[in-house]
Structure 1
Amino acid sequence: MTSFLAFAELCQKVEATAGSLEKINLVAAFLSSLDEPELSVACSYVMGTIFPPSQSLAMGVGPSILYEALSKACGCSTEQIGEMLRATGDPGLVAAGVVEKRRPIGFAAFQESRPLSIADVSERFMAVARASGKKSQDIKVKNLQYLFSLASPLEARYIARLAIEDMRIGIGEGGMRDAIALAFHEIGADAERVEQAYNLTNDMGLVAVNARRGTLAELSIMIHRPIKMMLAQLGESIASALGEIGTAAIEWKYDGARVQIHKDADHVWIFSRRLENVTASLPEIVQTAKEIRAQSAILDGEAVAIGKDGRPMAFQDILKRFRRKYNVEKLAARIPLRLFLFDLIYLDGRSVTDLPLRERRDLLEKIADPGILADQVVSASKEAAEEIYRQALAAGHEGIILKNPASVYAPGKRGKNWLKIKPVMETLDLVVIGAKWGEGRRASLLGSYRLGCQDAATGNLLDMGFVATGFTDESLAELTEMFRELIVLEKGMEVEIKPAVIFEVAYEEIQKSPNYSSGYALRFPRMVAVRYDKSLEEADSLERVVSLYRGQRGRVIP
């Protein structure tokens, strides 16, 4: 049984290591020493995630729960914890400092100290995630309190970061893929096989266990285990897209939210683009999916909120449906959803991802009624595509997607087999990493938000400045309420926010700026939408920011 201290020591070494290859070597050596249950857990923990999407579990731990647990475990007041946080800016370092000065209280004073194992932490985190009802916060606090009461300062550092899913050690999906491949290369694992298995399962722990067994090839798509969705790349124009694809399958790009539907007899599960289980929030989509003429199927489509005028409602209205947990029927009456299916991933016991799109579409048409299918026209005509584009815009949708009829379904991939054509100006998807309190009548609201792009090399988020326009008082109130539980540090008017939410931001120009860690800033940024449907991995990279900067007004590389 591997101690959690060994895991914490690994994380400390990885965090202190600058080079990506050195980080991967450290992680690979550790993974190769674990038994299967520990391996499954450790892979997720290193990346800062606790549960794979198929488990439909979330920790639900914010700073307030974390600091209450630390206070009760160590006899330190929450005020003292707040002061330490203002000094360090890192909840992990705060936890380590508090535990170092721990005064045993409560049950911790009467129990024998024993080493924590990876399994111990996993068991307690499972109890935290499964806590529900009126006493759920107390249950979460008690389980974290137990861990902190037994932890060393180094262990506490990473227990705290894991609890809020913010590890800060610079290992993401790509790094973990390479580490698994290296750890088990003698058994036949390589980066390509590991990535393929991950794309089919979306569970890095499961992939690692199978790499250890030499059974990666046996992994496949399964009902109730969501996979990453295939994505479209932005095309330059209809003419250039047809030049890339030739004869294309042309569909509207709906102004809705992506859904992945899993059907097994009369049981239906619906997953969002972020692979969150949203089944309970979308009862009309569940009912529609039950009418699919298949024993089992996984389908890809779009849920669109339709207003009384027959036009799509605002994207934020759709996301209200996805996030609603109570009084669902009442909101469904006000914001009804309609399903448009456009792809088939799995049918009656087998994956169909390797079939060309034209064959997947034929199968889809056999099992779904025309009323829930996205219209599709196969054509090489620029004039035909332009007419479909005009129709989509006139109906209030975003544009069109041109798809290669011969293309396979590539989970998690964005490429030239699907090209989207939209009339809107360029936008960036950036992570909210901080905020400022407003002034005057907005003094009680977070009025502007600090944004960050991803550094692909390190996994770190790099500052690009603030956005303060594009908000209504109502939206600021909603955002303030949401971000309140994500505040990890407060200094005067500014707060640091746990990275969890993406803003889609429009701008007039990208400018070089020495004031921000990215080296760039946005001129006249405006918040377009809160992209609750996107995961942090989908945030734009510094590489894309630089590419857009160089492409402005014909600017060439200096």
Structure 2
Amino acid sequence: MTSFREFCRICKIIEETTGSLDMTGFVSELFSLVTSEELPIVTHFVMGEIFPAWSDEEVGLGPGLLLNALSRSSGLPLKEIEKIVRETGDVGKTAVKALGKASKEQVTFSSFLDSSVELSIIEVFERFRNIAHATGKGSQTSRIKHLQYLFSSASAEEVGYIARLAIEDMRIGVGEGIVRDAIAKAFNVPVASVERGYMLTNDMGLVAVTAKEGGNEALSDLGLQIGRPIKLMLAQVTPDIETAIKDLGVVAAEWKFDGARVQIHKKNDDISLYSRRLENITGSLPDIVSAVKKAIKADSAILDGEVVAIGEDGRPRPFQEILKRFRRKYNVQDKVRHIPLTLNLFDIMYLNDESLIELPLQERRKFLVASIENNDLVRVDEQLITSDSLQINNMYEQALQAGHEGIMIKNPGSPYSPGKRGKNWLKKKPIMETLDLVVIGAEWGYGRRTSFLGSYALACYDPETGRFLSVGKVATGISDEQLAELTELFREHIISESGISVEIRPHILFEVAFEEIQKSINYGSGYALRFPRLVRIRDDKSLEEVDTLERLEDMYRTQRK
């Protein structure tokens, strides 16, 4: 059984390493060191996760609850803990400093003084699992007690990583790419096999233990599974329809609905719905569940689609209305009546125990149409196969007139590539160029907006370093009503405050439009957005979908041309 202290030792080395190749080597060493039982846990831990993305288990600890637990564990007032956070800007360093102070005064924190007391990796995981399963009356107290136990049983170095794991923000720069390469190196399997296994399972921990125990042959046996959602295939922006046709030739054109992506899993009469972030939203959409059950003629299937909120005029309602349905846990039927939804299906990845993702889009389309019986709430969307730009432009105008975003232009011969954003799927919208950026900070407003977070700091993602890099702030395009909603939404993600400035745990994405990208030494990315404007809150998207530094650089070069 491997100690958590050993895990932390290697994490510290990784954190102090800058080169991705060296980091990969250290992660590989860690994977080789642990047992098969510990390997899936460690794989997720180094990526700043407790559970795989598809799992219904969720730790659910915000910075507020963590600081409360640190206050109780250390005996320091909460305001003192908050002061330390402002000084360090890191919950891990805060935990070390706070509990270090306590260890000098309180004999209860024996492990700071006795190095023979060691937590195991599995014990830390089980405590987090207990936290995730704590529900109902007294659940907050129970969660804090589990954190107190971990803090009181940990060494000074360990408490820092426990605190970071608690809010799933490890800050050591390890992302999917490094973990993928480390698995391949540790267990002598092809990187491509690891990549394929991850695409089909959306669980790097499962891929790691499969590679360790069965090698390349076992990895090749991994496949789609009902109840385990996979990442959705993504699209790039095309500047115009003519360019898309030039790149792809004959294309499959479809409306780009102004809605939210959903992944549908069916096994006999059991239906599960998952959001773009792979959260289980089945209980929030009983109307869609019932309609899907009637529409799908297959015994088992995994499908891709878009739900749209429909107004009384038959036009799509604002995107945020859909998210109100997704977030609803209570009084669901009331929302069903007030925010009716329809589901438009456009792809199928699995049918009657067979994976279809490697088939061309045109072949998958045939299976989709044959498997669905359209009804009032569920239908297969219309698709046009052509290389005629006039026909596609007509479809584009029809989609806009109906109140939707534009069109999708797809390669009819393309496979379904989970989580990949490539040229096989292109989107054409009439609005300014947009980026999906993560909020990393904010500022309290002035005057009548004093109680609201009013200006939001944005960041892109750098896969090379595994870090989020600032690109500027956005304050335009936000109504008073949205400010109140956003302030409440971000409150549980606040890490620290200093004056009017607030540091926010990276979690929520903004879709931001802008006039142009400029070079700037004022931001970590080296770029700034000119006249940024909030288009919509994308809390349906996951952190993996944050636009990268590479995309900013590509867009900057394109606009210069």
Fold conserved between structures, TM > 0.5: yes
Mapping of 1:24-423 within 5 angstroms? 24-103=24-103, 114-185=117-188, 189-213=189-213, 214=215, 215-291=218-294, 292-371=296-375, 372-423=379-430
Mapping of 1:521-532 within 5 angstroms? 521-532=528-539
The one-letter amino acid paired with 1:259 is V
Rounded to whole Å, the distance in 1 between the matches of 2:26 and 2:76 is 35
SS at match of 1:36: coil
The one-letter amino acid paired with 2:167 is I
* Per-residue deviation, residues 155-187 of structure 1 (Å, max 9, x unmatched): 0000000000111100001110011111011xx
Rounded to whole Å, the distance in 2 between the matches of 1:110 and 1:306 is 58
SS at match of 2:37: helix
The one-letter amino acid paired with 2:371 is I
* Per-residue deviation, residues 209-258 of structure 1 (Å, max 9, x unmatched): 00101111111000000101111221222222122222222211111100
SS at match of 2:398: helix
* Per-residue deviation, residues 254-278 of structure 1 (Å, max 9, x unmatched): 1110000001111111111111111
The one-letter amino acid paired with 2:43 is C
Shift of 1:105: 6.7
Rounded to whole Å, the distance in 2 between the matches of 1:465 and 1:388 is 36
The one-letter amino acid paired with 1:267 is D
Q: Tell whether the 8 Å contact from 1:99 to 1:151 is kept in structure 2 after alignment.
A: no
SS at match of 1:102: helix
SS at match of 1:101: helix
Percent identity of equivalent pairs? 55
The range that moved more, 96-105 or 368-377, is: 96-105
Shift of 1:76: 2.4
* Partner in structure 1 of residue 471 of structure 2: 464
Where in structure 1 are there 5+ consecutive unaligned residues? none
* Partner in structure 2 of residue 535 of structure 1: 542
Rounded to whole Å, the distance in 2 between the matches of 1:547 and 1:285 is 40
* Partner in structure 1 of residue 16 of structure 2: 16
Rounded to whole Å, the distance in 1 between the matches of 2:463 and 2:111 is 47
* Partner in structure 2 of residue 512 of structure 1: 519
Q: Tell whether the 8 Å contact from 1:258 to 1:272 is kept in structure 2 after alignment.
A: yes
The range that moved more, 480-489 or 63-72, is: 63-72
Rounded to whole Å, the distance in 2 between the matches of 1:235 and 1:229 is 19
Q: Tell whether the 8 Å contact from 2:64 to 2:494 is kept in structure 1 after alignment.
A: no
Shift of 1:107: 7.8
* Partner in structure 1 of residue 432 of structure 2: 425
The one-letter amino acid paired with 1:210 is T
The one-letter amino acid paired with 1:426 is E
Rounded to whole Å, the distance in 1 between the matches of 2:417 and 2:162 is 35
Q: Tell whether the 8 Å contact from 1:432 to 1:500 is kept in structure 2 after alignment.
A: yes
Rounded to whole Å, the distance in 2 between the matches of 1:437 and 1:59 is 28
Q: Tell whether the 8 Å contact from 1:100 to 1:152 is kept in structure 2 after alignment.
A: no
The one-letter amino acid paired with 1:400 is I
Rounded to whole Å, the distance in 2 between the matches of 1:374 and 1:482 is 33
The one-letter amino acid paired with 2:298 is A
Rounded to whole Å, the distance in 2 between the matches of 1:91 and 1:122 is 19
SS at match of 2:552: helix
Q: Using a 3 Å threshold, how does the CA distance of structure 1 residues 22 and 283 change in structure 2: closer, same or farther?
A: same
Rounded to whole Å, the distance in 1 between the matches of 2:126 and 2:151 is 14
TM-score by length of 2: 0.95
* Partner in structure 2 of residue 550 of structure 1: 557
The one-letter amino acid paired with 1:117 is S
**Alignment RMSD:** 1.7
The range that moved more, 365-374 or 149-158, is: 365-374
Where in structure 2 are there 5+ consecutive unaligned residues? none
Rounded to whole Å, the distance in 2 between the matches of 1:15 and 1:53 is 23
Rounded to whole Å, the distance in 1 between the matches of 2:111 and 2:58 is 31
* Per-residue deviation, residues 108-136 of structure 1 (Å, max 9, x unmatched): 67999731000001000001111111222
SS at match of 1:433: strand
Q: Tell whether the 8 Å contact from 2:517 to 2:529 is kept in structure 1 after alignment.
A: yes
SS at match of 1:370: coil
Q: Tell whether the 8 Å contact from 2:438 to 2:459 is kept in structure 1 after alignment.
A: yes
Q: Tell whether the 8 Å contact from 2:102 to 2:109 is kept in structure 1 after alignment.
A: no
Shift of 1:191: 1.2
Q: Tell whether the 8 Å contact from 1:74 to 1:149 is kept in structure 2 after alignment.
A: no
The one-letter amino acid paired with 1:275 is L
TM-score by length of 1: 0.96
Rounded to whole Å, the distance in 2 between the matches of 1:223 and 1:365 is 20
Shift of 1:410: 1.2
Q: Tell whether the 8 Å contact from 2:474 to 2:533 is kept in structure 1 after alignment.
A: yes
SS at match of 1:31: helix
Shift of 1:37: 1.5
Q: Tell whether the 8 Å contact from 2:460 to 2:470 is kept in structure 1 after alignment.
A: yes
* Per-residue deviation, residues 462-486 of structure 1 (Å, max 9, x unmatched): 1122111111111100110111111
SS at match of 2:304: strand
Shift of 1:79: 2.1
Mapping of 1:2-13 within 5 angstroms? 2-13=2-13
SS at match of 1:2: coil
Rounded to whole Å, the distance in 2 between the matches of 1:233 and 1:506 is 16
Shift of 1:342: 0.7
* Per-residue deviation, residues 531-557 of structure 1 (Å, max 9, x unmatched): 0111112111122212222222xx25x
* Per-residue deviation, residues 420-472 of structure 1 (Å, max 9, x unmatched): 12111101111100000001111011011111111221011111221111111
Rounded to whole Å, the distance in 1 between the matches of 2:67 and 2:127 is 17
Q: Using a 3 Å threshold, how does the CA distance of structure 1 residues 376 and 110 change in structure 2: closer, same or farther?
A: closer
Rounded to whole Å, the distance in 2 between the matches of 1:398 and 1:422 is 6
Rounded to whole Å, the distance in 2 between the matches of 1:313 and 1:64 is 34
Q: Tell whether the 8 Å contact from 2:111 to 2:152 is kept in structure 1 after alignment.
A: no
Q: Tell whether the 8 Å contact from 1:232 to 1:419 is kept in structure 2 after alignment.
A: yes
Residue in structure 2 matching 1:434, options 441, 454, 458 = 441
